[in-house]
Structure 1
Amino acid sequence: MVKRCGAVAAAFLAAALLFVGSPLYGAVKIKGMQPWMQGSAEKSLNAVWQEMESTVPLADRLSMLTLVAERLFLGYSIKTPQWSGTDVLLPVSSTNPILWQVHVIQPVLPYPTDQWFYEDTKDLQSQLLKALDQVPVEALGWADMALKQEIEALSGPRLPGWDVSLQVQIDSEGGGATLNVAFLPQQPLVLAITPTVQSSSLPVAFQSDLKDNLQSGLFPVIGLPVQWVDVHKKEVEELARQSLAGRNIVENSKAQVDVAFKPSQIAKADAVVESPRFTIQAWAAAYGGTDDRYPELGLHVGRKALPLSGWDVELYGEWILSTNDWGLESRWGARWRYFPRLLFGVELAYPGEEIWWRFWLTGKVKQPYFWVRFSENSEKNMGVGYRLNEFLSIELHYDERDDDQWSIRAVGNL
């Protein structure tokens, strides 16, 4: 009889692995297991329970269910199942509860990403000790996947992109066991970072130096999971901001740094560095399509004043040197920034002591821009251009004072 029951139990065990159906006459509910393992255990027993012939007496079905449970759930003592009239309640108890220890193994990460990882996992040890309370070590032979799923559920929101690896060490002398939990980075990983630095108040030569510092400052996130880096996007942006804030040009100009980070395999870090006090710009320009214009060098130096009625005002001097006859034109003016890209101004140009009204619609890299000047004598000078990169812009230039009024101007930002 025992052999026959064992054969039948093996058949039901095979059915449990192949079939999971909705209860036809009640469900099996287990009492005495940790919640994280109870679900998968009930799933297997319900598959067996539903495969039993309804013509078999209830007592025999409950006896068979007990036998299958004993084969499945090593480490647990199976009590007499109870029929409630609708469901089966199966009490269990641990046969060998042990003292567990949990060791969360932190991967080797550069500062400050190691601190981020520590903060994400600092309470995981206590949570797992609670989850392993009264769990016999033998149970991990059939509940290891359920335990891994429980750890992933606990750590997943804070550690997306990290795979969990488990190892159990048994202390034969002390009678305890240690669960080692390690984390391995999973694809996709951050492979490289493309930095950009934009500023309307600092020369491009300084921006290039800041760009190099931005890239080196974000080196700690290279090789980390994209999903996890996305969780720490604000920390990454602060790390990038600090890498720029300590530079001399930023400190001396009291510049404000704002960084936008976009996590991906080829991540982007876009920094905007603006001084609330000074504006320094330099450029070299060459003209095509006209005989009236020659290459020129330009310098703009401005001092920003306090906001005036909500408008940011800047007092500036501008000097343009023609390489043809080394003639120098100077402009002294004031301009107001009404919107981030929209400016209005007035300036006095020498020689000639002529007043010009001026309007700018500025553009960042890969954006168009426009500017126009009107003199007190109704003369007009304007340009429509596009910034190809941090260093070069191409512009359609117009000056009513020239014989060849239209020309193409290439502007190299210095």
Structure 2
Amino acid sequence: MAASSPPDYTSIDTLLLPRWLIPIEPAGVVLEDHAVAIKNGKILAVLPREEALQRFSAQHSEELPEHILMPGLINLHTHAAMSLLKGYADDQPLQTWLEKYIWPAEARLVSPEFVHDGTLLACAEMLRGGITCFNDMYFFPRETAQAALKLGMRAAIGITVIEFPNAYAHDAEDYLNKGLAVRDELRDEALLSFTLAPHAPYTVNDTTFERILTLAEQLNLPIHMHVHETRQEISASLTQYGLRPLERLHRLGLLGPNLIAVHAVHLDPGEIELLARNGSSVAHCPASNLKLASGLPASTAWADAGINVGIGTDGSASNNRLDMFGEMRLAALLAKGTSGRADSWPVHYALRAATLAGARALGLEHKLGSIETGKEADLCAIKIGNSDHLPCFDPASHVVHVLGRENVSHVWVAGELCVKNGVLSNASDDSLRVIGQVWQNKTQG
């Protein structure tokens, strides 16, 4: 009797074997007893568990018997370095918070070291909470990038632009030149992308906006900006320009698929339609909007209009958590409460907002935001491990409404394991605690 041929295995790096899998695309799907095969940092296949075990020979297999596997979360708006100002000035409205507390503190403290260390703390917090990519707006972008790379995290680095000077740059052109130089220096880093990040319509003039638009078109970069965050911003624009901020941006040509309008709390129906017609995205930051009493946005109307809506945490100084699980749940509940519609922001919409919609806003939907063949293996596993989580009738509902960031067990970025059983792979908690204490002493001193 002839010997049977050995199985024809395909060699791969990693095989993940979760109980449930939420791929995000196709929409509304939850798969059970499926596997994800990873090779060279990318998703090679998504297929039933038994078929995967027969087909692949993996250097490393990860059994996840009580887990939900989903794409890594994408934090569409934050100021990572401001983790060092967490809780520094609570219970203040936005303009008071900025002008009397945050800007003076930044004038004293902001430096390359401040940005590096604050971003390092932020990346640790985000990774442990299942966030694999963040879209940042702050000063000293090289240090932001270096901290993210140190922890193996993906980042969209903002080329921040503002008209007034600080320790980083002395005018808008200086901000742009320095930011573009960092982009040129780091453009080959696989985990980095870049945006143009004018702070807001009230801190950037028309001439600078025209330069930003030209650069965005030449370099194919998103434009990441605070827009319509408060009523005060709108009334000031009407006084200065005779226009609401969004109409001013529209006349300057800045509305389009590459615009990420952060907050967008105070939009009238015509402005919502304008953003939708131009294919612009919104970065929804519900906790920050509530904490600064900025207002309640018409997030159901955004969804109904077809606007691409992602979710952001904003910075730790105004939140004070970089917690996308909390933001997802809050966004869904606020949409229901403000609209009076229980079907507003269903769980799969919230999950998409925290993943694929963020990737789309950043122009990265071809590589991030869903578990599909050929995409980057940016993934997080969430454990349903105790009686508080049971029964589980719908894993997608559990992610949004039951589980939290403390239930994230594993995180991969480009196939590399950055968190295992809640422990960071590339930094020790002791060293991070020392960094936090050093800067607390400096700030209080």
State the TM-score, normalized to the length of structure 2: 0.17
Q: In terms of Rg, which structure is larger?
A: 1
RCO higher in structure (CA 8 A, sep ≥6): 2
- What TM-score do you get using the length of structure 1 for normalisation? 0.18
Q: Which has the higher strand share?
A: 1
